[in-house]
Structures are given as structure tokens and as C-alpha cells.
Amino acid sequence: MPAPSAIAITPSTRNVSIDVRNPAFYKNPLASYAALHAQCPSFFWEEPQQWYFAGYDQVNSLLRDRRFGRQILHVATREELGLPEPKPHLADFDRLEAYSLLELEPPAHTRLRTLVNRAFVSRQIEQLKPEIAALSHSLIDGFEKDGEVELLKTYAEIVPVTVIARMLGVPVEMAPKLLDWSHRMVKMYVFNPTLETEHDANRASAEFADYLKGIIDWKRKNPADDLLTHMITTEKDGERLSDDELISTAVLLLNAGHEATVHQLGNAVRTLLETGTSARDVFSSDAATERTIEECMRYAAPLHIFQRYALSDIELEDGISLKKGDKIGLLLGAANVDPKKFSDPLTFRPERNEGAHVSFGAGLHFCIGAPLARLELKLSLPILFERLPDLRLKSEPQVKDSYHFHGLERLELEW
């Protein structure tokens, strides 16, 4: 298969140039990944000027490799690393990141993760089953008679945000505002955000934090059976979470709790419809449904790329030398279609049983919400196809011009 026009590979030097804004790339990154697997699975990406890894084994082991971390400032100063000073106009955004589970390394990470984890174990999550099913049905009740719908705004977005808001104990009526803050913040994760994006993300962070501070103060006086109250009152070794930690964790859970799931739901529906897959067959039993969900997550993952810092000088096996503080990129989306791991990887095969994808990551930062995301998908996908058996695409789905969130702009369906 020839490499798509958006990617230029020089195998002799392992240099690769990719234009992530070119539709030939972002509409179907899997085709570019196939070219990388064939010619250069670890490569120096010229635009961001750093090493990237596409092979399944490499990505999987680098995610678990304790010589790398999501954070570097716990082992070095900015001056040592020649990093620029924080931007003052991002102070509120940075404050949320500074206490975010996703941006911490042990021991701070271990402490925070232990405190939050209990709520996310499968046993706890299973209890949400009736609530998620009822929510899916009630949303479909709202548009069933119309014969058509834009699925992202009416369903894929609403299920995850409602569930995570209820779990945390944040009023569900706030969902539109939570979505607005979250969308404005996650725009920061694209390559080279604009100054306007930065200012806007900072304003959203300040408003979001202020709002949560109010809720937390209220919960302190009015404890309830929800995750925020649990985080406020829980103790480990005599220590409680500080207000900054509580706010950052709540923001992270509200953001991470829906942004990826929305696109995973949209990508899964699109995949099932475009491949002419029979919903009746693939959702015929619990086991078949679970396999189908895992294949949707492998083939049409919403998050394709994560970064790590080298915490010391490191020589990798394939002759790549890294200095302390260097960043590397791990292409989860590419690892999921490595032909060394998955047979015929660019084909969607719901019955596939060839081991785990890495869409939820691996190692210390493995997605804490994985049991919840899986349950939401396992319920809301089959219910949609069961209720609307004639479901079909009304127009060609438009892929978002944003590499970091591989998802759709809109998903117009009819029946």
C-alpha cells in the first residue's frame, strides 16, 4: 500500500514528516500507520522534533517503563532542562494540571490514585448498569419518532457526561456548562495551541475551578453518597485531599470521563454502519458484545497519542539516545494496528480474539475510567441498535480536524 500524501518517510535516517492538518492524514491515520509499520516503526518526527514509537511491543513496554514519566519537574528544575518559564496567562490552567492525577508521578500519584480508585473498581461500576440503560432509553425516546438524528450531541455526548456528573454528585443540569468548560480546556492538547485558545482555556479553567470550589464547600456541610463526598472525607495515613487536589481531580474526572467516551461511541457506531456489521449478531450475547466493543476500541480509538519524559539519560535498544528531559511520543492508535500483533490489522473483525489493544494505555497511568467506559459502551451501543434496527448513515461522517481526539464532527443518522 503506498504511503498517503500527508506523510514522508526516510527509512535510512528514520526521519518522518507528517502534516497532521492534511485530511489525507487525519481522516484515516491508520493508512499512515501501515506505512510506518512497513518502513519505520520508531522514527524521528520532524515537526515536533522528537522520537515517536508505533510498534505494539514498544508502545506497550514504554508505557510501563519507569525510566519515563508524564512529569519531569519532580526530578529536575526548569533551569536545568532549559524549559521556558510558565506562561502567566495560563496560571489557572496550570494550577489544575499541577494537581492532576494524570500529570503526577509517584509518590504523589500513588496517594491520589489510591484515594480515587475505590470508586472505579468494576464492582462499584456494575451498580450503575440500570441507570445507564435507563438513560440510554430515555434519550432514544426523545428522538425515535423523528426518523433522523445527529447522534453526537443527542446521545454520544449526553450519556457519559450525565453518568460522570451523577457519580461525582454534580447537578446534572450543569451538563451543558461542564461540556463547554471541558471542550475549551481540551483544545490545549492539540499541537501548538493558539494564543486565543490558551486564553480561553485559562478562563474556562478558572470558571470550572470556581464552580467546583462552591460545590465542594457545600458538600462539606451536606455530605451525600457520591464520589466528591467520598474524596472529601476519605483519608489515607491520616491525610486528606487538599482543595487544589479535590478540584483538579474532579475536573480531570469530568473531562476525561466524557471526552474520550463521546468519540469512542461515535467512532464505534460509524464503524459498525460503514462495515455493514450485523448488530443482531455482534450483540447477540454478553461475550460477543464485549469482543465487539474491544475491536471497536482497537480499530477506531479516540485517543491516538500520549507523551512521556525521559527521567534520566536513556539508551534504547534500537540505538535511540535520549537525554534527561527529552520527550517521546507513543502512538497508541498505531500500536493497535501493528501487523506483528494483529492479523490483517486494518480490517474490522468483531470476533477477533488476539489480545488487548492499548487504547486505555498501560502501566501506572492506565485509564482509571476503563471499567466505566466499557460499561457505557456495552450498554448504550446495543440499546441504540436494538431500538433502531434500521439505523443507517444519512451522510458521510465528517472526521474532526484534530489529531489528538480522533473523532467525528457530526454523525447524521436515519432509520
Least Å from the CB of residue 270 to ligand HEM: 14
Binding residue for ligand HEM, selected from 188, 204, 228, 260, defined by CB under 6 A: 260
In the complex with ligand HEM, the residue whose CB is nearer, 135 or 164, is 164
Strands 392-393, 412-414: pairing is antiparallel
Are the beta carbons of 42 and 53 closer than 8 angstroms?
yes
Burial of residue 246, with CB atoms counted within 10 A of its CB: 0-12 exposed, 13-18 middle, 19 or more buried: buried
Rounded to 5 degrees, φ, ψ at 88 are: -60, -35
Binding residue for ligand HEM, selected from 209, 253, 269, 282, defined by CB under 6 A: 253
43 binds ligand HEM (CB under 6 A): no
Cell of 364: 501506572
169 binds ligand HEM (CB under 6 A): no
Least Å from the CB of residue 199 to ligand HEM: 26
Rounded to 5 degrees, φ, ψ at 214 are: -60, -45
Binding segment (CB under 6 A) for ligand HEM, from list 28-36, 134-142, 224-232, 358-366 = 358-366
360 binds ligand HEM (CB under 6 A): yes
164 binds ligand HEM (CB under 6 A): yes
70 binds ligand HEM (CB under 6 A): yes
349 binds ligand HEM (CB under 6 A): no
In the complex with ligand HEM, the residue whose CB is nearer, 113 or 219, is 113
Q: Which residue in the shown chain puts its C-beta closest to ligand HEM? A: 369
264 binds ligand HEM (CB under 6 A): yes
303 binds ligand HEM (CB under 6 A): yes
Are the beta carbons of 359 and 332 closer than 8 angstroms?
yes
DSSP 152: I
Least Å from the CB of residue 374 to ligand HEM: 8
Can you tell me the distance from the alpha carbon of 406 to that of 73, in angstroms, rounded to the nearest whole number?
Answer: 29
Residues 6+ apart with CB under 8 A from 188: 93, 197, 198, 201
Least Å from the CB of residue 262 to ligand HEM: 9
In the complex with ligand HEM, the residue whose CB is nearer, 345 or 369, is 369
Cα 333 to chain centroid, rounded: 11
Are the beta carbons of 91 and 199 closer than 8 angstroms?
no
Question: Could you give the angle at the alpha carbon of 375 between the alpha carbons of 371 and 381, nearest 5°?
Answer: 145
Binding residue for ligand HEM, selected from 208, 306, 342, 385, defined by CB under 6 A: 306
Residue with cell 494483529: 342
Binding residue for ligand HEM, selected from 55, 266, 329, 361, defined by CB under 6 A: 361
Can you tell me the distance from the alpha carbon of 259 to that of 255, in angstroms, rounded to the nearest whole number?
Answer: 6
4 binds ligand HEM (CB under 6 A): no
Cell of 268: 464505534
Binding residue for ligand HEM, selected from 37, 166, 184, 365, defined by CB under 6 A: 365
102 binds ligand HEM (CB under 6 A): yes
The Cα diameter of the chain in Å comes to: 65
Binding residue for ligand HEM, selected from 32, 42, 205, 359, defined by CB under 6 A: 359
In the complex with ligand HEM, the residue whose CB is nearer, 200 or 338, is 338
Question: Could you give the angle at the alpha carbon of 280 between the alpha carbons of 277 and 281, nearest 5°?
Answer: 70
Cell of 185: 480546556
Residues 6+ apart with CB under 8 A from 48: 191, 329
Least Å from the CB of residue 368 to ligand HEM: 4
Least Å from the CB of residue 366 to ligand HEM: 6
In the complex with ligand HEM, the residue whose CB is nearer, 93 or 309, is 309
Cell of 390: 434500521
Positive or negative, the CA dihedral 315, 316, 317, 318 is negative
Number of residues lying near ligand HEM (CB under 6 A): 25
76 binds ligand HEM (CB under 6 A): no
Binding site for ligand HEM (CB under 6 A): 63, 70, 101-102, 113, 164, 252-253, 256-257, 260-261, 264, 302-303, 306, 359-361, 365, 367-369, 372-373
